[in-house]
């Protein structure tokens, strides 16, 4: 037996083998991606986009339950508020007549009162024959626009309006500008010019794959559909940059193939660890009660995973393909050294942290006073679409209305009439409408009960015919006792008798005079419209018009007053109040729980990732403190500027900020912990900032610019608010990571070291028989127990855990000697 070699070439691990396979089979991956991309281009048309935020309310909320009932039991005709400016009352009346003649227009409400004519402006309340998405309503709306094309007209309506299409158009502009900015950033921070096409192709592939696979969810929200691509670009381009920089480093000493393989094998663990913090923040967002968080989290997590897939499997082949041009287009780094800034952070390490603590306290207080709102009524955006401009114009001239729908059990018209009367007497109720207070004829309302004689007098029917009609109605309803006791004392609601009379006329059992027949036809049409809108199989719908704003403490309090009023007449379990105000109230009620849950989960998930990344219990707390501080500061701005903030912005942005911006802190911390083993901590921090700055400035500028663009160029208040907060939050995170984290890391160095731990790998039990050479610490049985440092050769059997060094059989030793 000879001596074992002093050095042994390491066998490639799984990651190295996978990297080599990906690089060598790059043409196969190219074909697979091309095929998948072609499929996804077509499948993007299969994606259903949901424009209705209320559909994401928790199923148990009153608004969601009420909306479900209304969808099942009632018809809501499409409507439009059409304001024409700069005209006389005579011109307005002429337009009103012309509007009523348009096919598909059911009615036009207009008069000379200030509710419809004010400041030389006319407001026409148009109701269509179909619902808002019916073709007959859309066609009628198109004709209205064509008729008024030469007028100064403003229209607010859901008919013929697609919010998702409008936002998609805005996001296309955002995407183009974002790409230009990102290319500019990459030109500034790249090592070679030709790496930029590689990065853009990789991202484009990831974006197409993500958009084309959204159909697997059935439908996604318009929020996710509009901002997912931009956020994917901003969040995931980092991964491609990491691999690209690894490649350029390895390429200086190795051929292209080996450089790509080694770069990929090194980048896979680094990128995987980085994406975990982002995904953990998105997972936390999915726990929101308001299911828009689940929708966005799912779409964005898929976007991140597709980005990683493209970086790991497509980009290596692109690097090989572009390697000749990459080699030829190297340029000097345009990113300056920031040694002066690093030295300043070292000098101020005892000054900045106390100031940061004070700012943290104030930021916590101010962020908790952030003026959150839960509807769009008080929000404004930098960019406004045509509908928003029209709504502002109409509100300026005619004010705004706040309509609610109260659903009560159907069938008891008298109880409904009493409730309507009590509601109408309330201070903040402008008007109420239900079947029990709609006037039919001669002062009678639809639900008034009439005897045969009263009905005959009302309709000019012969009394005997009226009695026969009532008798037939009693038989139809199987109330035979009424026939026996005397039909003259039988009273029937007017709406039911009119509908029965019409059915009998249509069946040929009753003949009416021509004028009465025509009048009955008109009454029947009106009653049918009233029934489908206000009377369902199990519920009646009462419309309540308030003089209160859509969202205010006073409005929320009055909702409870309406409930209390209705409970005096009905079982509370069978009552539902639906409207923008109740929607806002339900969101308000769920926000506090979502707020606490998201904050805790996002922090816990990120801490767990950091705990295993840095193997220190104290370090994750320090990093989280910095990012959480940037979140509190971010949401202090609305309070300080007295600007309302849409609540969803906090839930979404705080999750993304915690999950994505923590990467900036990780970059500096990784560099610092490695460098401080080789040099004093002050020098290590200066060098860590120099090394981390290009990565942070690249990633931060992309995410900040993407968010800011969304905030400035989207007309949807929710999307705009998310963008503004994300852009501002990213900038704050960069400032704190570059300006506060270094001092905290240096001052907390002792805490980091004291709380460090190592995860001890379990020793692998090895069993060998025969001639065995051992060199190291062996603990186990060698025909008896052994626990010692051992060097030599044994004859026999060994079953032991090798805690240091290794064991070899004699045949392995001989093979080594021959080699």
For the stretch 437-453, pLDDT in tens is 888 777 788 888 899 99
Q: What is the mean pLDDT of residues 723-738?
A: 92
Is residue 764 pLDDT above 60, yes or no?
A: no
**In terms of domains, do 206 and 306 share one?**
yes
3-state secondary structure at position 772: strand
C-alpha to C-alpha distance for 407 and 636, rounded to whole angstroms: 40
Averaged pLDDT of the chain: 84
All residues at 6 or more sequence positions from 40 whose CB lies less than 8 Å from its CB, including other chains? 208, 209, 211, 212, 213
406 domain-assigned: no
**In terms of domains, do 183 and 314 share one?**
yes
Give me 65's structure tokens: 């339950």
pLDDT of residue 520: 80
C-alpha to C-alpha distance for 400 and 381, rounded to whole angstroms: 19
Strand-strand pairing, 429-433 and 117-118: unpaired
213 domain-assigned: yes
Q: How far is CA 686 from the centre of its chain?
A: 40
Of 297, 332, 367, which closes a domain? 332
**In terms of domains, do 256 and 363 share one?**
no
Of 332, 362, 377, which closes a domain? 332
Residue pointed to by tokens 């029965």: 500
Q: State percent of the chain over pLDDT 90.
A: 34
Is residue 161 very low, low, confident or very high in pLDDT (cuts 50, 70, 90)? Answer: confident
CATH code at position 110: 3.30.70.260
Is residue 433 pLDDT above 50, yes or no?
A: yes
Phi-psi region of 757 (alpha: psi -120 to 50; beta: other; left: phi over 0): beta
Treating both helix axes as pointing N-terminal to C-terminal, what angle do 717-739 and 222-251 enclose, rounded to 10 degrees? Answer: 30
Per-residue pLDDT tens for 558-598?
A: 999 999 999 999 876 789 999 999 999 988 888 878 888 88
**In terms of domains, do 523 and 639 share one?**
no
pTM greater than 0.85 (yes/no)? no
C-alpha to C-alpha distance for 336 and 320, rounded to whole angstroms: 29
Give me 447's structure tokens: 């639900």
499 domain-assigned: yes
**In terms of domains, do 599 and 674 share one?**
yes
Interior CA angle at 629 toward 626 and 632, to 5°?
160
**In terms of domains, do 180 and 37 share one?**
yes
Q: What is the mean pLDDT of residues 105-122?
A: 91
pLDDT of residue 819: 45
579 domain-assigned: no
**In terms of domains, do 656 and 752 share one?**
yes
**In terms of domains, do 281 and 363 share one?**
no
pLDDT of residue 731: 93
Is residue 684 pLDDT above 80, yes or no?
A: yes
**In terms of domains, do 326 and 341 share one?**
no
Of 161, 195, 218, which closes a domain? 161
Ordered DSSP codes for 398-453: H---EEEEEEEESS-HHHHHHHHHHHHTSTTEEEEE-GGG-EEETTEETT-EE-HH
Output the furthest CA–CA distance in the chain (Å, rounded). 127
CB atoms within 10 A of CB 622: 19
CATH code at position 255: 1.20.1640.10
**In terms of domains, do 30 and 169 share one?**
yes
CB atoms within 10 A of CB 762: 6
Give me 290's structure tokens: 């308001």
C-alpha to C-alpha distance for 219 and 609, rounded to whole angstroms: 31
24 domain-assigned: yes
Is residue 788 pLDDT above 60, yes or no?
A: no
Helix (H) or strand (E) holding 795: strand 785-809
Residue range of the domain that includes 119: 55-161
395 domain-assigned: no
The tally of domains found in the chain comes to: 5
Q: Which residue from 596, 603, 559 is spatially nearest to 578, judged by alpha carbons?
A: 559
Is residue 780 very low, low, confident or very high in pLDDT (cuts 50, 70, 90)? Answer: low
**In terms of domains, do 173 and 234 share one?**
yes
Is residue 5 very low, low, confident or very high in pLDDT (cuts 50, 70, 90)? Answer: very low
Helix (H) or strand (E) holding 153: strand 152-157
3-state secondary structure at position 287: coil
pLDDT of residue 615: 78
Identify the weakest region by mean pLDDT among 298-302, 422-426, 701-705: 701-705
Ordered DSSP codes for 473-500: HHHHTT-HHHHHH-GGG--EEHHHHHHH
Cβ–Cβ < 8 Å for 181, 705: yes
88 domain-assigned: yes
**In terms of domains, do 699 and 740 share one?**
yes
Q: How far is CA 315 from the centre of its chain?
A: 29
C-alpha to C-alpha distance for 578 and 586, rounded to whole angstroms: 10
CB atoms within 10 A of CB 21: 14
Q: Which residue from 12, 19, 35 is spatially nearest to 320, judged by alpha carbons?
A: 19
Name the DSSP letter for residue 194. T
431 domain-assigned: no
Phi-psi region of 104 (alpha: psi -120 to 50; beta: other; left: phi over 0): left
Give me 71's structure tokens: 């969808």
Angstrom CA distances, 662 to 139, 245, 351, 605, 733, stand at 52, 21, 23, 12, 8
Per-residue pLDDT tens for 469-487?
A: 888 888 888 887 777 677 8
Cβ–Cβ < 8 Å for 428, 560: no
Q: Which residue from 272, 278, 254 is spatially nearest to 311, judged by alpha carbons?
A: 272
Ordered DSSP codes for 627-654: HHHHHHHHTTHHHHHT--EEHHHHHHHH
Angstrom CA distances, 54 to 376, 540, 762, stand at 13, 22, 52
C-alpha to C-alpha distance for 726 and 734, rounded to whole angstroms: 12
Identify the weakest region by mean pLDDT among 186-190, 321-325, 451-455: 186-190
Per-residue pLDDT tens for 235-294?
A: 777 788 888 888 888 888 889 999 999 989 988 887 887 788 888 888 888 888 888 889
């Amino acid at each position: 037996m000879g001596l074992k070699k002093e050095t042994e070439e390491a066998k490639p691990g799984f990651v190295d083998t996978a990297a080599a396979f990906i690089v060598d089979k790059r043409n196969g991956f190219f074909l697979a991606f091309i095929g998948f991309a072609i499929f996804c281009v077509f499948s993007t048309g299969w994606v259903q986009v949901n424009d209705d935020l209320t559909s994401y309310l928790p199923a148990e909320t009153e608004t969601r339950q009420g909306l479900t009932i209304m969808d099942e039991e009632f018809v809501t005709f499409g409507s439009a508020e059409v304001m024409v400016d700069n005209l006389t009352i005579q011109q307005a009346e002429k337009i009103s007549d012309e509007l009523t003649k348009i096919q598909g227009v059911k009615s036009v409400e207009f008069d000379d009162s200030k509710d419809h004519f004010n400041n030389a402006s006319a407001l026409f309340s148009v109701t269509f024959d179909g619902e808002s998405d019916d073709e007959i309503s859309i066609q009628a709306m198109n004709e209205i626009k064509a008729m008024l094309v030469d007028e100064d007209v403003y229209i607010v309506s859901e008919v013929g309006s697609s919010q998702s299409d409008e936002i998609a158009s805005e996001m296309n502009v955002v995407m183009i500008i974002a790409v230009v900015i990102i290319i500019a950033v990459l030109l500034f921070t790249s090592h070679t010019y030709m790496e930029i096409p590689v990065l853009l192709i990789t991202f484009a592939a990831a974006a197409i794959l993500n958009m084309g696979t959204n159909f697997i969810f059935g439908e996604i929200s318009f929020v996710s559909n509009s901002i997912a691509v931009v956020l994917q670009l901003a969040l995931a381009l980092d991964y491609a940059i990491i691999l690209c920089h690894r490649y350029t480093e390895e390429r200086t000493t190795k051929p292209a193939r080996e450089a790509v393989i080694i770069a990929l094998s090194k980048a896979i663990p680094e990128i995987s660890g980085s994406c975990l913090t982002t995904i953990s923040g998105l997972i936390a967002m999915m726990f929101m009660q308001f299911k828009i968080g689940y929708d966005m989290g799912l779409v964005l997590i898929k976007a991140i995973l597709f980005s990683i897939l493209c970086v790991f499997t497509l980009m290596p082949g692109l690097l090989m393909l572009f390697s000749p041009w990459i080699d030829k287009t190297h340029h000097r780094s345009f990113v300056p050294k920031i040694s002066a800034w690093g030295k300043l952070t070292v000098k101020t390490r005892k000054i900045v942290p106390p100031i940061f603590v004070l700012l943290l306290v104030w930021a916590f207080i101010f962020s908790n006073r952030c003026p959150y709102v839960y509807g769009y009524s008080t929000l404004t955006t930098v960019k406004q679409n045509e509908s928003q401009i029209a709504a502002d114009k109409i509100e300026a001239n005619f004010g705004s209305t706040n309509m609610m729908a109260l659903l009560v059990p159907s069938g008891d018209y008298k109880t409904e009439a009493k409730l309507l009367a009590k509601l109408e007497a309330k201070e903040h109720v402008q008007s109420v409408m239900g079947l029990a207070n709609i006037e039919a004829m001669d002062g009678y309302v639809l639900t008034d009960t009439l005897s045969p004689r009263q009905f005959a007098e009302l309709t000019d029917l012969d009394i005997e015919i009226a009695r026969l009609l009532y008798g037939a109605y009693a038989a139809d309803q199987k109330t035979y006792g009424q026939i026996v006791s005397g039909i003259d004392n039988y009273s029937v609601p007017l709406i039911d008798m009119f509908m029965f009379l019409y059915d009998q006329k249509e069946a040929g059992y009753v003949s009416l005079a021509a004028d009465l027949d025509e009048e009955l036809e008109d009454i029947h049409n009106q009653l049918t419209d009233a029934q489908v809108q206000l009377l369902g199989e199990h519920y009646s719908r009462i419309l309540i018009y308030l003089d209160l704003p859509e969202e205010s403490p006073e409005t929320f309090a009055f909702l409870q007053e309406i409930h209390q009023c209705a409970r005096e007449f009905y079982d509370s379990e069978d009552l539902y109040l639906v409207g923008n105000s109740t929607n806002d109230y339900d969101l308000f009620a769920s926000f506090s729980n979502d707020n606490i849950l998201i904050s805790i989960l996002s922090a816990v998930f990120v801490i767990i990732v950091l705990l295993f990344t840095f193997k220190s219990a104290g370090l994750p707390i320090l990093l989280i403190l910095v990012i959480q501080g940037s979140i509190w500061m971010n949401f202090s701005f609305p309070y300080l500027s007295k600007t309302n903030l849409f609540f969803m912005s906090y839930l979404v942005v705080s999750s993304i900020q915690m999950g994505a911006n923590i990467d900036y802190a990780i970059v500096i911390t990784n560099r610092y912990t490695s460098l401080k083993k080789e040099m004093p901590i002050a020098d290590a921090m200066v060098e860590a900032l120099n090394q981390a700055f290009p990565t942070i400035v690249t990633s931060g500028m992309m995410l900040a610019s993407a968010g800011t663009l969304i905030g400035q160029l989207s007309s949807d208040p929710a999307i705009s608010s998310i963008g503004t907060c994300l852009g501002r939050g990213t900038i704050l995170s960069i400032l704190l990571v570059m300006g506060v984290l270094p001092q905290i890391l240096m001052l907390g160095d002792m805490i980091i070291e004291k709380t460090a731990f190592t995860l001890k790998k379990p020793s692998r039990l090895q069993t060998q028989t025969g001639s065995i050479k051992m060199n190291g610490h062996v603990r186990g049985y060698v025909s008896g127990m052994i626990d010692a440092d051992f060097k030599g050769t044994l004859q026999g059997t060994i079953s032991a855990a090798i805690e240091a060094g290794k064991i070899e059989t004699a045949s392995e030793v001989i093979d080594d000697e021959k080699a």
